[in-house]
Chain A
Amino acid sequence: MVDEVILLDYWPGMFGVRTRIALEEKNIKFDYREQDLCNKSALLLEMNPVHKKIPVLIHNGKPVCESLIQVEYIDETWPMEYPLLPSDPYQRAHARFWGDFIDKMLPGLGKLMWGAKGVEQELGKKEFIEMLKTVEFELGDKTYFGGETFGYVDIALIGFYGWFDAFEKYGNFSIEAECPTIIAWAKRCVKRDSVAKSLPDSEKVIELIPELKKKKRVE
């Protein structure tokens, strides 16, 4: 049976990037369908009725939601290709811990960089940098988070790199000055085809921000 793999996503989405990278790493052909988040498609609402959010991975008609769950699903469904998670249970738990940490901290703090002003933004910036330094400490002097091979934690974090320029511009700070090891790591990741193909264009993300700020004021 030929696998049918569809990905419902939104081009600047930090989370869908992870799924795209995982699929590319495994050389899995997929049908990418751009979603209009202001006018959600019937397919999106049918496949993710609980959250009504992207990304949604649809494999042979069955939906998998939540980006890190999708990455694990991809790894477990196509185990013969490039493994994204370690096979040892403890090493797996360790990787998942960092994926979870990134998920808990980065999106909310990142949003404050462009979505907040004054004291709220300054406090957000401080927490964002602290959080990134914690992740940077975990990376240490390794090539990737898992050691020599690109994997799950790298995928969990690299999706946000497309937004770093926007965070810096609106937050008025330099991520490289604060976390040089993270930026060096990101530049290594971007050399991989899977990442280069999947990351959104930083300039286009910056152009998107005024529209996002307007929507935020309306909400």
Chain B
Amino acid sequence: MAEKEGKIKLLGCWASPFSRRVEMALKLKGIPYEYLEEALPNKSPLLLELNPIHKKVPVLVHNDKILPESHLILEYIDQTWSNNPILPQDPYEKAMARFWAKFIDEQILTVGFRSLVKAEKGREVAIEEAREKFAFLEKEVTGKDFFGGKTIGFVDMVAGSIIPFCLARLWEGMIIDVIPEDEFPELNRWIKNLKDIDCVRECIPHREKQIEHMMKVSERYKLA
């Protein structure tokens, strides 16, 4: 059994959905941690030392163990602290959770942010393509309170850090509605459910500040 004792430090960024989701997991499990804010896009010597390969947040430090990559950190937290589990025990259900988490961080982020911002084929086409991908998530959460079932889990933290409080604020800044309630009733219901969960609510960045941030990030991305 892995040691649960010892200090936890989390290197993160207030606007990063990837570090926010790690905080959700730490708060859900009641694990105290020291939070170190990275003033991105400038990268501190500490970040470069702890994550020399990707140079990104979040990075979790637990005693002498250094863990980058949010999915890996979430699974490590879940395996080390078994209260309030976020991944299912059943191997098939676990594989499905990992599949959806990968889909969200790759496909959803691409269509919800990258393709939309660049909109090479025009904004309407980009929105339609995004909706095709979101339709898979709509189906997956249908009839459930959360992706994890009755309680929030791994997929809720991955999707919940990106969709409602990051992408949605970008869309607000762009004055578009990518997942309108009449077309995506289940996803919208899930978003409302999420806001009632303490560990999620405590990790929601300030709305106006984040809209401003997402507009700056999208400008930088467009020029890149």
Contacts and interface: CB of A to CB of B under 8 A. Distances in A.
Interface of A: 49-50, 59, 62, 64-66, 69-70, 72-73, 76-77, 88-90, 92-93, 96-97, 100-101, 134
Contacts of A49: 136
A64 B95 contact: yes
Contact of A64 (B53, B71, B92): B92
B47 to A, nearest CB: 16
B118 to A, nearest CB: 18
24 contacts: A50-B103, A50-B136, A59-B92, A62-B92, A64-B92, A64-B95, A64-B99, A65-B99, A66-B98, A69-B95, A69-B102, A70-B95, A72-B94, A76-B91, A77-B91, A90-B2, A90-B62, A90-B76, A93-B72, A97-B67, A97-B69, A97-B72, A100-B69, A100-B72
A88 B136 CA distance: 34
A69 B99 contact: yes
A114 B2 CA distance: 45
Q: Is the interface of B mostly helix, strand, loop or mixed?
A: helix
Given A93-B67, A96-B75, 10 more contacts: A64-B95, A66-B99, A72-B95, A77-B91, A89-B2, A89-B76, A89-B80, A93-B72, A93-B73, A93-B76
Contact of B67 (A59, A76, A90): A90
B65 A90 contact: yes
A57 to B, nearest CB: 9
A87 to B, nearest CB: 9
Contacts of B92: 59, 62, 64, 73, 77
A117 B219 CA distance: 31
A96 B70 CA distance: 12
A127 B94 CA distance: 34
Interface residues on B, range: 20 to 34
A100 B54 CA distance: 12
B79 interface: yes
B94 A96 contact: no
Nearest to A48: B99
Contacts of B68: 97
Interface string B41-82: 000000000000100000000100101110111011001100
